Amino acid sequence: MHEVMVAQNILTAILEETAKRTIRPVAAKISCGSLYAINDESLCFAFEAIAKGTPCEGVRLQIEHKPIRGRCNSCNQDFAVEMSSPRCPKCGGEDFQLLPDAPLILEEIEFQPE
């Protein structure tokens, strides 16, 4: 279960930012590509477990999955690949390459209002 390792990395990053402030974090937003093998429930459970007893205890995670992106080989258009109909929205072509999946990123940390 790599969600525990991901949760540990997120916790470390939030704690580093928290150390620079005198207020505690209350929420964090992360994003990752749709092909990134993250189970939202497992990640939230792992984060909650390892955050106990730290300034991050009780922090809510919001996870956004970015769509799979492709580039049309006919017209060079970048687009979100619709899995039910994988075609270029510009030219209708079916000849495209998948672009690298979006990485896992800690997008935002929300801190308690002062």
Give the chain's radius of gyration (CA, Å).
Answer: 18
Sheet holding 78-80, edge to edge: 78-80, 69-72, 96-98
Residue 40's CATH number: 3.30.2320.80
DSSP 59-103: PEEEEEEEPPEEEETTT--EEE--TTS---TTT----EEEPPPPP
Task: Give the domain range for residue 72.
Answer: 3-111
Per-residue pLDDT tens listing for the chain (114 residues): 589 999 999 999 999 999 998 899 999 999 999 887 789 999 999 999 999 999 999 999 999 999 999 999 999 999 999 989 899 999 999 999 999 999 999 999 999 986
Kindly give the pairing relationship between strand 69-72 and strand 60-66. unpaired
Count how many domains the chain has. Answer: 1
* Distance between CA atoms of residues 9 and 74, nearest Å: 40
What pTM does this model have? Answer: 0.82
